[in-house]
Amino acid sequence: MRFDVLTIFPEVFPGPLGIGVVGRAIEAGNISVTAHDLRDWTADKHRKVDDIPFGGGAGMVLTAQPLVAAVRQIRFERPGIRCILMSPQGRVFDQTVASELAQEQDILLVCGRYQGVDERARAEIGEELSVGDYVLSGGEIAAMAVIEATSRLVAGVLGSPESLVGESFSEATEGGFEPPLYTRPAIFEDNEVPAVLRSGDHAAIERWRRQQIQQAQRRHRPDLVRCGTTSGGQK
């Protein structure tokens, strides 16, 4: 799977993506991450990518010309590529969206900066994704989060596909969290591993884990319960 990133700071990539699971996948050729400098598509000698907004207001805005030129060229060179702008107005990125993107072969993530992106460039790109209701200085960190979460779901990236089965937000956890996890020793600072996990009764262990998942969601993320992501509900 190939990820391309359009940014005014290409030097930050691969960054954290170059280590761990995704880093190994990049080395093995299962995943590729290529950053493109937006300034390469500017039409002036100063390679300017931002300007003041019409109508006034604080801050600068990424101009339409280089963004549109870049997206059009990349689309022409790789027909079928899925182009996505990282934007607070976009569809909220979650595990379901990550699973959807993992089915693609080629994705371009466009990173905004400053106060935002010229509306005409947004229209050209089309699709938008948000990683949450908060403000980042730019889309680079958001793009890394999308690449990290999506890459883990691509066949061949994880050494053991079974690792995905019981993860948070997986089907096995009914869209919720992983259950509490314990390892040796059985007693640590007077805190003992629950007896059911040492019982060998797999049915009882499964019931206990499901109860813990539901309790954790009600306690920490009641919004997930309301949205129907527990007890067999659908997102």
Q: Output the CA torsion 108→19→25→134 (10° steps).
A: -40
pLDDT band at 228 (very low <50, low <70, confident <90, very high): low
78 three-state secondary structure: coil
Separation of alpha carbons 220 and 58, rounded Å = 37
Cis peptide bond N-terminal to 10, omega within 30: no
Query: Does 233 score more than 50 pLDDT?
Result: no
Non-local CB neighbours of 215 within 8 Å, separated by 6+ positions:
none
Contact of 17 with 147, CB cutoff 8 Å: yes
Amino acid 57: pLDDT: 85
149 three-state secondary structure: helix
Element (H, E) at 110: strand 106-111
Amino acid 144: pLDDT: 98
Tell me the domains of the chain and their CATH numbers: 2-151 (3.40.1280.10), 165-226 (1.10.1270.20)
Dump the DSSP string for 18-43. Answer: GSHHHHHHHHHTS-EEEEEEGGGG-S
Tokens linked to 182: 């314990």
Amino acid 221: pLDDT: 82
Average pLDDT, the chain: 90
pLDDT band at 175 (very low <50, low <70, confident <90, very high): low
Query: Does 234 score more than 50 pLDDT?
Result: no
Separation of alpha carbons 193 and 27, rounded Å = 39
Q: Supply the pTM of this predicted model.
A: 0.84
62 three-state secondary structure: strand
Tokens linked to 161: 């596909």
DSSP 38: G
Query: Does 171 score more than 60 pLDDT?
Result: no
Contact of 128 with 85, CB cutoff 8 Å: yes
